[in-house]
Structure 1
Amino acid sequence: MIYNDTIVALATPSGSGAVAIIRMSGKNAISIASEVFQSVSGKDLLKQKTHTIHLGTIVDGTKIYDQVLVSIFKNPNSYTGEDVIEISCHGSVFIQQQIIQLLLRKGCRMAQAGEFTLRAFLNGKLDLSQAEAVADLISSDNEASHQIAMQQMRGGFSNEIAKLREELLNFASLIELELDFAEEDVEFADRTQFHDLLNRIEFVLKRLIDSFAVGNVIKNGIPVAIVGEPNVGKSTLLNALLNEERAIVSDIAGTTRDTIEDELVIDGIGFRFIDTAGIRETKDVVESIGIKKTFEKIEQSQVVVYLFDSTEFVTSSSKFKIEIEKIKNQFPLKPLVIIGNKADKLTENEVILLKSEIENILLISAKEKIGIEDLKNQLLSFVNTGSLRNNETIVTNTRHYDSLHKALEEIQKVKFGLSSGIPSDLMAIDIRQALYYFGEITGEVTNDELLGNIFANFCIGK
């Protein structure tokens, strides 16, 4: 791939709108723009200062395409580190296509997915983890994922990794120096200080690795399966949570035959609710398939909500207790929220009985929307958002998680070698490997395949 030519792409979403932005980047961006732009005041774009905006028209000979605003960003003070031109035109799809085709005829090339951000990385404007955060920021759909992406894009994560890498690199240099004086049997690296550093690096790496469990669910949303027997109000509960008639509700048992999914943001955290088919013995072939899918969705979920009709508990308590224990035993690692629905129809004594028989039960009325806020608070309690409030670094990227794991393994090898008194040359191998995995995260260590995989997930124009 050639990265010194001039590229062009639509920077705003495709389709018609009020305004569209067409972006160019490369050494010829300003000269190409000057060929097709006529300023209303007769300005020459080639002579204008960086970070200025100019009103005029896009023309091809005598043909006028649109009245536009042209923004100039000269290297190195631009997003990509190259000369960048942004043309703000009217949002007609026809106008967008005509201007882009004109720029292509003038010498531009269509940008590939993420190529503007790739050039920003290659030109040192962003490190690799910051570049990846750009894609996360674009795709963020709740406050928590937005906050994490912003922190990473500002360099919070990469700064922490870079600092650890620099300290380890300093000690690695001293260890390598010892190898040059192996015959003199001298030690330049203070082993006590080195041991303390390794302990500190190990602690930070473990904290970052542990944060992935929180970061991953915040980034992708927390899947919550709503399960229970037919006609206990699962679809009504989903509608109450979403505050809309998303699922069909009827008095006929088995109405929901397939899973219904929808998302809800609660206090900045995304939850993906899955309304499943009722679990029961049935000879209906279609309903059986739905029940099979229910158990598949429970496997995929991170939280299980078991819903039952609380008015039937007095006469069928053992049945519900058996069902609750069955779910607990089948999915022991998943948080289970036990909900008694139709609680508005219970007597005071029945409420007392239910609370005494089932620990931590939530009593609600999905139809009357009673207890819905208690359920939302219960779901939020499963997410550790303390790290967000404390502005701690949270890992959300699987590639980072994998590199951190490998770096931790190498650091633990170095610690073992240090305590075992192995020769410096063997210890240096493990240190270099740990530095390699640190470098993979921030981009000191890259290859074309890695960059291709990362930036292929970006949108065109970014």
Structure 2
Amino acid sequence: MHHHSTTDTIVAVATASGVGAIAVIRLSGPEAFAIVQGVFRGRDLLQQPSHTIHFGTIRDGDKVLDEVLVSLFKGPTSYTKEDVVEVSCHGSDFIVQQLMQLFLKQGARLAQAGEFTKRAFLNGQFDLAQAEAVADLISSDSALSHEVAMKQMRGGFSQEIKKLRAELVHFASMIELELDFAEEDVEFADREQLRLLISNIQRIIRELLRSFELGNVIKNGVPTVIVGKPNAGKSTLLNKLLNEEKAIVSDVPGTTRDFIEDEINIEGISFRFIDTAGLRETTDKVEAIGVERTLQKLSQSSLIIYLFDITTTTPEELQAELEHLNPKKLPILAVANKIDEASPATLAVFGEVENLVQISAAEGANMDGLKEALVAKVNLGKLNTREQTIVTNLRHVDSLNKTYEALDDTLSGLDLGISNDLVAADIRRALHHLGQITGEITTDDLLDNIFTKFCIGK
């Protein structure tokens, strides 16, 4: 990846392409105002105050390309902390391309993916975890993932990390100070306090790592698989949950041969349904492949709904099936279907079974009960998303794990009474990994890696 100079003025289309009423082209850098002014007819942009909007035309020589609104943001009170100009033009791809070419001819260069946000980070607008939250925010499609991204953008996560880092830095410097006074044998760093701090940090890291399971769910949804014998009503149930006819429903057992992926959103959590062909011993070739693939799909899911026909199953059979199905002990929810056809005696017997939801997919009976049970299975209950910091980013998880290991080494070093310079080195390593999360420690590769995942124009 080329490292272009950060003194270039960059330009990119900030809106999605396609037919919209308007498109926005964004420029950032020292020449942003001058480049636009060079092709703009209207007020002299160089004389206008920041945070103002001006109407005029953009011309290529004498040819009017479009009527536009130009918004001015003078650095440092802009997104990137540089001079930023946003040109709102008509949303045709043709016009946008013409304006872009004009700006490039005037001396701007095309922005790389994420380069606006990268500049904002490099110019101290926010830290790295907050910059990454911008990317999460762009792609968030449920209320919860939006909330988490907003919270990270405002720096909730970073605050916690920075506090911990500051205390660790203090200890590292105290221990390094002792090295200067090695002959006098003085102790500046209280070892007990250091131990307390470390176990405290480790406790917080454990919580943060635990929150990643939840963060992942919020960001990516819960892969859920519905299994059951042929004609247990899987397709009917899926259609009911999705309120649309996506799966094939027929009365011949074993007719759903395809995996149909769908998503529903319950209380802000996305459940991604991986529907499977009936699970059963089978002789039919096509079906046999289906069952193989079903077992494979089970291993990819993190929640299993086992659906059975309450009129043809005994509680003993149910237990046996559940045992057989779930060697990995994933969260599994047993759902009894066709309660509209069952006798009161049968309903009573199954009413005794724990963790069981009774529904009628065909009638749509007790769908709310099923939804509540699904949310409970993901057990977000014990996490307070409003107040707790939630990790949703794999890179952060990796850094937290490495920090944890370095802290473990520090503790065992203290126990073994190893020399101060080694203890200090372990602490520095922990600091390094913690700092990578918020970007106090960065490398070009790390930055490239993060910002190239952004869309261009952000």
Q: Please report the TM-score for the alignment, with normalisation by the length of structure 2.
A: 0.96
- CA distance, structure 2, for counterparts of residue 15 and residue 228 of structure 1: 44
- CA deviations 1:227-281 (Å, max 9, x no partner) are 0111211011111111111211111112110211111110111111111100122
1:325 corresponds to: 323
1:433 aligns with 2:429: yes
2:335 corresponds to: 339
- CA deviations 1:338-381 (Å, max 9, x no partner) are 1111111112111012233x432211111111121111101111
- CA distance, structure 1, for counterparts of residue 395 and residue 427 of structure 2: 20
Question: Which runs of structure 2 are paired with 1:189-200 in the superposition (5 Å)?
Answer: 189-200=189-200
Report the AA paired with residue 370 of structure 1. Answer: A
1:278 corresponds to: 278
1:350 corresponds to: 346
SS in 2 for 1:247: coil
1:371 corresponds to: 366
Indicate if the aligned counterparts of 1:305 and 1:337 stay in contact, CA closer than 8 A. Answer: yes
Offset at 1:132?
0.6
2:134 corresponds to: 134
- CA distance, structure 1, for counterparts of residue 382 and residue 451 of structure 2: 31
- CA distance, structure 2, for counterparts of residue 231 and residue 65 of structure 1: 63
SS in 2 for 1:15: coil
Instruction: Label 1:212 to 1:45 Cα distance change in 2 as closer, same or farther (>3 A).
Output: same
2:221 corresponds to: 221
2:183 corresponds to: 183
Offset at 1:189?
1.4
Aligned length: 454
Indicate if the aligned counterparts of 1:144 and 1:388 stay in contact, CA closer than 8 A. Answer: no
Instruction: Label 1:24 to 1:397 Cα distance change in 2 as closer, same or farther (>3 A).
Output: same
Indicate if the aligned counterparts of 1:258 and 1:293 stay in contact, CA closer than 8 A. Answer: no
Instruction: Label 1:320 to 1:383 Cα distance change in 2 as closer, same or farther (>3 A).
Output: closer
- CA distance, structure 2, for counterparts of residue 361 and residue 208 of structure 1: 32
Offset at 1:284?
2.2
Offset at 1:166?
0.8
Report the AA paired with residue 296 of structure 2. Answer: E
Of the structure 1 ranges 132-141 and 290-299, higher mean CA displacement relative to structure 2 is found in: 290-299
Of the structure 1 ranges 131-140 and 442-451, higher mean CA displacement relative to structure 2 is found in: 442-451
- CA deviations 1:183-223 (Å, max 9, x no partner) are 11111112232222222212111111111111111111001
2:299 corresponds to: 299
- CA distance, structure 2, for counterparts of residue 342 and residue 27 of structure 1: 69
Which runs of at least 4 in structure 1 moved beyond 3 Å after TM superposition? 317-321, 385-390
- CA distance, structure 2, for counterparts of residue 273 and residue 383 of structure 1: 18
Offset at 1:321?
3.5
2:84 corresponds to: 84
Indicate if the aligned counterparts of 1:259 and 1:293 stay in contact, CA closer than 8 A. Answer: no
Report the AA paired with residue 331 of structure 1. Answer: K
- CA distance, structure 1, for counterparts of residue 186 and residue 75 of structure 2: 49
Partner residue of 2:14 out of 11, 15, 20:
11
SS in 1 for 2:437: helix
Question: Which runs of structure 2 are paired with 1:9-408 in the superposition (5 Å)?
Answer: 9-39=12-42, 43-313=43-313, 318-328=316-326, 330-332=327-329, 334-356=330-352, 358-381=353-376, 382-408=378-404
Partner residue of 1:422 out of 409, 418, 421:
418
- CA distance, structure 2, for counterparts of residue 25 and residue 388 of structure 1: 39
Stretches of structure 2 lacking an aligned partner (at least 5 in a row): none
Stretches of structure 1 lacking an aligned partner (at least 5 in a row): none
Report the AA paired with residue 184 of structure 2. Answer: E
- CA deviations 1:118-157 (Å, max 9, x no partner) are 1111111121111111000011110111111111110111
- CA distance, structure 2, for counterparts of residue 52 and residue 419 of structure 1: 63
Offset at 1:78?
1.0
Indicate if the aligned counterparts of 1:158 and 1:442 stay in contact, CA closer than 8 A. Answer: yes
- CA distance, structure 2, for counterparts of residue 318 and residue 199 of structure 1: 47
Of the structure 1 ranges 276-285 and 173-182, higher mean CA displacement relative to structure 2 is found in: 276-285
- CA distance, structure 1, for counterparts of residue 449 and residue 385 of structure 2: 32
- CA deviations 1:29-87 (Å, max 9, x no partner) are 11001011112xxx210111111111111111111111111111111111111111101
Instruction: Label 1:319 to 1:196 Cα distance change in 2 as closer, same or farther (>3 A).
Output: closer
Offset at 1:387?
3.2
Of the structure 1 ranges 412-421 and 120-129, higher mean CA displacement relative to structure 2 is found in: 412-421
SS in 2 for 1:21: strand
What is the percent sequence identity of the aligned residues? Answer: 57
Indicate if the aligned counterparts of 2:357 and 2:373 stay in contact, CA closer than 8 A. Answer: no
Give the alignment's Cα RMSD to 1 decimal: 1.4
- CA distance, structure 2, for counterparts of residue 29 and residue 88 of structure 1: 15
Indicate if the aligned counterparts of 2:337 and 2:361 stay in contact, CA closer than 8 A. Answer: yes
Q: Please report the TM-score for the alignment, with normalisation by the length of structure 1.
A: 0.95
Instruction: Label 1:195 to 1:320 Cα distance change in 2 as closer, same or farther (>3 A).
Output: closer
- CA distance, structure 1, for counterparts of residue 302 and residue 67 of structure 2: 52
Offset at 1:310?
1.1
- CA deviations 1:314-342 (Å, max 9, x no partner) are 5xx654442222013x231x111011111
- CA distance, structure 2, for counterparts of residue 287 and residue 57 of structure 1: 65
2:441 corresponds to: 445
Offset at 1:94?
1.2
Report the AA paired with residue 434 of structure 2. Answer: F
